[in-house]
Structure 1
Amino acid sequence: MEETKQKPAGAKPAGISRRAVLQLAAAAGVAQLVPPLMIEARGEQPVKLGMDNPLTGTYAETGKNELIGCQLAVEQINAKGGILGRQAVLLSEDSTSGDAGTSVQKARKLIDRDKVNFLLGNVNSALSVAMAEVSFQKGVLHVVPGGHTDQVTGKTCHWNVFRVCNTTRMLTNAIAKSLMQMYGKKMYFLTSDYAFGHTLQEGYDANLKEDGGVDLGVDMIPLGTTDFSSYLIKAQAANPNVIVFLMNGNDLTNALKQAVQFGLDKRFHLAGANQELETLEALPPEARLGDWVFEWYWNQPKVPHVMEFVDAIKKKTGRVPTSRTWFGFVGGWTCALAANNAKSLDPVKMAKALQGYTLPPEVGLMPNAPFYRAGQNQLIGSLYVGTAQPKGSVPDDLFHVTRIVDGKTIAGTVEESGCKMTWPT
């Protein structure tokens, strides 16, 4: 597969501005927030963060928003003195949305050729797992901003891999029981056929078993499907109380659009697990419905520093931040906090410094202060359960939060996660 980066045509004029350098770097697909030539001129070596995330395909929008959040983090880090007094540089590669081979190739490029100090990615759970094997082999600190499948911080956990987003089991634990209480216990599932969907399904199955729910059927649907009509017809024929959509990105957008076109929202309750502002923005107003879990939400007027973050992102993009923007923001800051607290760029020392570490309020941006659970490297914070809405108080307010769940109450134990972490001797 071809590289997505392209060198700008022509040489850089002698008088080109710093802003122009950044714009050229962005056009090339490389988010270098401090030009390396400037750093070298000052006799400094930059600290490099490498993000290997989808910028094309099903998860392009979510991947781009994670990149934007990480860009803001690096800007703030540099404004506050950098990492160990050195400027931070963010490099970005397009992993694609579903090609594990490409994501691994890009991870190796960032580590071996670009010599990054930190690896970040991926939105796609299966790609996150594949990348984690590379970072583990190379001994590089790796932050997974938005790949949810349980095994990242579960059965295949590694000492060097930290995750910002929730596990799939936490997502299902936050909502499954309340769905059964409010709408009935008979459910039909439309599930993405890869790691993310598989572990979401396992989480729902466990909740159904615990609370007497009934699984009327599961369709495992390939990533990138555009026509959901056959699956929706089967779901309708099963006559469930709830049709559960366990997918994300463009797949969820297309599935919900077609469900409403079929009129299924008039006969059944539509719901799922995690929902994204990117998806709701892409839907027509009539398809913004159902019960979901947000992992971060921008409209939190009583939480300190949230509006500062919202304003900073709006200055960059003209839009409010999404959960994905926050994932990338936390991912970037995690790298700096690990190094500055360890007073070292040694990966083991940094990983040790993050054990049980609570994010500062201006990074955590949640009512329950997020922390990296020791022995698992999973961030535990708040989850926002509620309903999608056609419009709210302002154009970007498309989700009504009905309750905030403390992640500690639904995360289970480290032992239950299956993580048996071993450290280098």
Structure 2
Amino acid sequence: MVAYRRFACSVAALAASLMTSTAFAQVPVKLGVLADMSGIFSDIGGMGAAEATKMAAEDYEKANPGKLKIEVVSADAQNKPDVSSAIARKWFDSDGVEVLIDLPTSAISLAIAPLVQEKNKVALFTASGSSDLTGKACTPNSVHWTYDTWALSHGTADAITKAGGKSWFFVTADFALGHALERDATAVVTQNGGKVLGGVRHPTDAKDFSSYLLQAQASKAQVIGLTNAGGDTINAIKQAAEFGIVESGQKLAGMLLFISDIHSLGLKTAQGLQLTTAFYWDLNDKTRSFGDRFATRNGGRYPSMNQAGAYSAVMAYLKAVEKAGSAKDGVAVVKAMRDAGTFDDPLFGRTSLREDGRVLHDMMLVQVKKPQESKRAFDYYKVLATIPGDRACRPLKDGNCPMIK
């Protein structure tokens, strides 16, 4: 009789476990890609970020059949914090979305972060750059994956200043990312004995940079720092070439450049530019495999670091959901991501999540190849230096994240 009862209890426990597992697998984990689908940042995120998210979901399901049922939705953020907040709130309140991916501008991310915390969801900041997201605006629900303004500045500005570019003039996009880039780059320049001679700010999606570039020329600064992004950076570099700025002896420093920007500029215009990036598709066999798969699905265009960030962040998030046992508690999922410790990400190498929400991985200082050095489209970078993750990111004690005591 005792043996029978033990057997019956074991069967009941097994049945309950199977029912729980089956029920969990039938609950979809809904991922929301909130990206710039039609504006100046669409090439660096956009539908490519949605495609990278779908690739991560498919790869996870293939490797872990029956564990989670994943659904991906997407929307155009229109680069407006109010529009993005309204979409996110509807997704959270009515549509069952548990996590946001991409978030194309720092202004959007800074607006979304407190909402995500209020709703106890998760934000994977894979396309926004302000280092404030892991500083004064940090939350237990936020993960800053790809890059930030501190890392970019301590890569590009540090290398150029140490190489002799001691006087700077900034052409800055007048929004949160631009302000943060200029602030963090200025700190690096001055720490290295350089001097900022001035700066000018322009609206987002500016078409005519002539007046800004003339002011930069008149400053006689050795380096013109472009603290903007996307279409604005492309337009500024193209018009600088028309003005013969580099030929006249000044140097351009693109503080936030993507491989899609180099593709749009062409190597004849972009050659010699130095920039800091978190990802390059042609770095090793794993990145090349992902890059080729992505290009096949994305009209032949290879992934930007933001699109690679979307893939890797989503993959890490799904593994954490499995570990946490539910996607409903955002804080618990982020904790599970952090508890994973240091792991070998196929696209970013050794990777870990810090207490302030910053993801640590290597960054690379690269130089754009000359046209004759490139063997095919998107073969654009020469890696000059690899910056280890613990040096590429701002020290934890310097961020002023209120969660860190």
**How far apart, in 2, do the equivalents of 1:350 and 1:409 lie?**
27
The correspondence of residues 217-366 of structure 1 with structure 2, limited to 5 A, is: 217-267=198-248, 268-289=250-271, 290-301=273-284, 305-317=286-298, 318-345=300-327, 346-355=329-338, 357-358=340-341, 360-361=343-344, 363-366=345-348
Is contact 1:305-1:365 (8 Å) kept? yes
1:92 to 66, 74, 79: 74
Letter in 1 for 2:202: I
**How far apart, in 2, do the equivalents of 1:167 and 1:356 lie?**
22
The correspondence of residues 44-83 of structure 1 with structure 2, limited to 5 A, is: 44-64=26-46, 65-81=48-64
Residue in 2 that maps onto 1:187? 168
**How far apart, in 2, do the equivalents of 1:390 and 1:80 lie?**
41
Residue in 2 that maps onto 1:40? none
Secondary structure in structure 1 of the residue aligned to 2:246: helix
**How far apart, in 2, do the equivalents of 1:312 and 1:358 lie?**
28
Is contact 1:69-1:324 (8 Å) kept? no
Secondary structure in structure 1 of the residue aligned to 2:312: helix
**Equivalent residue pairs, number:** 376
Change (3 A) 1:211 1:151: same
Change (3 A) 1:107 1:359: farther
Say whether residues 1:155 and 2:155 are aligned partners. Answer: no
**How far apart, in 2, do the equivalents of 1:364 and 1:378 lie?**
18
**How far apart, in 2, do the equivalents of 1:153 and 1:169 lie?**
11
Structure whose alpha-carbon radius of gyration is higher:
2
TM-score, scaled to structure 2: 0.88
1:384 to 361, 364, 380: 364
Unaligned runs of 5+ in 1: 1-42
Say whether residues 1:139 and 2:100 are aligned partners. Answer: no
Residue in 2 that maps onto 1:29? none
**How far apart, in 2, do the equivalents of 1:103 and 1:201 lie?**
25
CA apart distance, 1:390: 4.4
CA RMSD of aligned residues (A): 2.1
Letter in 1 for 2:191: E
The correspondence of residues 160-175 of structure 1 with structure 2, limited to 5 A, is: 160-175=141-156
Cα deviation 1:92-111 (Å, max 9, x = unaligned): 011112x1110101111111
**How far apart, in 2, do the equivalents of 1:103 and 1:356 lie?**
30
TM-score, scaled to structure 1: 0.84
Q: Is the deviation greater in 214-223 or in 60-69? A: 60-69
Residue in 2 that maps onto 1:34? none
Change (3 A) 1:359 1:299: farther
Is contact 1:166-1:380 (8 Å) kept? no
Change (3 A) 1:60 1:410: closer
**How far apart, in 2, do the equivalents of 1:344 and 1:381 lie?**
27
Secondary structure in structure 1 of the residue aligned to 2:283: coil
Is contact 2:77-2:104 (8 Å) kept? no
**How far apart, in 1, do the equivalents of 2:191 and 2:244 lie?**
31
Secondary structure in structure 2 of the residue aligned to 1:370: strand
